[in-house]
Amino acid sequence: MSALNSHNALGRGMGTLLSTDFDKSILLDESERIQKISIDLVSPNINQPRKEFNNDSIGELAESIKVHGVLQPLIVAPIKGEKDKYSIIAGERRWRASKLAELKTVPVIVRDEKEDTKLEIALIENIQRVNLSPLELAKSVNELHQNFDLTYDDIGKRLGKSGRTIANNVRLLQLPKEAIDALNSNKITEGHARSILSLNANPSAQKELLDTIIKKGWSVRQAERWVVAYKKLGADNKTAHERVKTENPYTKQLGKRIDAPVSIKRTAKGGRLEIGFKNEDDLARIIKQLS
């Protein structure tokens, strides 16, 4: 490819990043559409839904910025009553990395937006493009639902998810504080949290399940089986714990007889017996013993 053709191709590529068919009325003067301003004149939006940032990720982006610069402009809006100062609508992660890279200026697009539209843009960008934690995602979606009169189906369409998925995510906000803290600190996963959430009619059962998951290192599947047993058997927690176990005297007896690991997996309606085998020959041996 010739240098001229290469240049033109790069030009077309950049054009695809910066659309020219947006509503020009939302921008300030023509000359101010894309500009470089002092990084000290920019500050985060106080309504930014993301409160925690991964320092390692920010550091990696900062190293990239040192080499390539900020490839995508921040979107900012003038701060009312403060001359030449701007709040970030979208791009706080890039701003943090730029400060870490010790840049003096950053590229921005200035939008004269209303406060509600500013927050909506920030929320949508974070949900779509940033790796939010489950609770951060739930808070952001709830913000859209409460403040912008959007249904979960409406939000789902914007994010490429079903309304049901969106609604289920927001339900995480109903977790007891101890479970929220455990989820935030990665002591439990979102799957564990959903099992705990399904016991919202019984706070004591929620606490017992949470404590057991952390203490015994239960998998999500074990937590789900405990919930099924608890709901089926009522408040008999001891029996519920027994039903989560993958071994009992019968599985041990059978395992000893056929010289193979035997485990039990309970479900809402009965369960299944699992027998492990090493290879095809071992499987044939076990089947012969059982026949």
Which residues are paired to 110 by β-bridges?
A: 76
Give per-residue pLDDT as tens, 155-190. 888 788 888 988 988 999 999 999 999 998 999 999
Number of domains composing the chain: 4
Amino acid, res. 94: R
Q: Answer yes or no: do 109 and 37 share one domain.
A: yes
Q: Note whether 283 and 261 are same-domain residues.
A: yes
* pLDDT, average across residues 223-236: 75
User: What is the number of H-type helices and E-type strands within the chain?
Assistant: 14, 7
CATH number of the domain encompassing residue 104 = 3.90.1530.10
Please say if the pLDDT value at position 99 is more than 80: yes
Question: Which pLDDT value is given to residue 17?
Answer: 37
Higher pLDDT among residues 246 and 141, named by residue = 141
* 241 shares its domain with 264: no
**Cβ partners under 8 Å of residue 38, min gap 6:** 104, 105
Same domain, 144 and 123: no
Which DSSP string corresponds to 12-60? HHHHHHS-SSS-GGGB--GGGSEEEEEGGGEE--TT-S-----HHHHHH
Assess if residue 13 is contained within a domain. no
Q: What is the mean pLDDT of residues 235-254?
A: 63
Residue 145 covered by a domain: yes
Of 174, 199, 233, the one marking the end of a domain is 174
pLDDT at 244 over 80: no
Q: Is 164 helix (H, G, I), strand (E, B) or coil?
A: helix
Please state, in angstroms and rounded to a whole number, the distance separating the CA atoms of residues 45 and 33. Answer: 20
Please check whether residues 33 and 116 belong to one and the same domain.
yes
The answer on 153 and 115 residing in a single domain is no
Two tokens at 224?
């789900």
Residue 190 lies in a domain: yes
pLDDT per position as a tens digit, 101-137: 999 999 988 876 565 566 566 667 667 765 678 888 8
Residue span of the structural domain in which 83 resides? 27-127
* Lookup: tokens for 183: 């989820």
Q: Edge-to-edge strands of the sheet including 42-43?
A: 34-38, 105-110, 74-78, 86-90, 42-43
Residues 114 and 43 in one domain: yes
Residue 49 pLDDT class (50, 70, 90 cuts): low
98 in a structural domain: yes
Domain assignment of residue 97, yes or no: yes
Q: What's the pLDDT band for 26 if we cut at 50, 70, 90?
A: very low
* Shared-domain flag, residues 168 and 202: no
Residue 63 banded pLDDT, cuts 50, 70, 90: very high
Query: In terms of domains, do 100 and 32 share one?
Result: yes
**What pLDDT score was predicted for residue 191?**
93
Q: Is the pLDDT of residue 10 over 50?
A: no
pLDDT score for 73: 86
Q: Which residue has the higher pLDDT, 275 or 51?
A: 275
| 197-214 confidence digits (pLDDT tens) | 999 888 988 998 999 999
Which pLDDT value is given to residue 116? 54
The DSSP 8-state label assigned to residue 173 in this structure reads G
Query: Is 88:74 a contact under the CB 8 Å cutoff?
Result: yes
Residues 165 and 203 in one domain: no
First to last CA, the chain: 71
The answer to the question of residue 3 being in a domain is no
Task: Give the pLDDT of residue 4.
Answer: 43
**Residue 83: inside a domain:** yes
Whether 20 is covered by a domain: the verdict is no
Residue 122 and residue 50 share a domain: yes
The rounded percent of the chain whose pLDDT value lies above 90 is: 17
> Between these two residues, 262 and 193, which has the higher pLDDT value?
193
Catalytic residues: 92
**Same domain for 209 and 170:** no
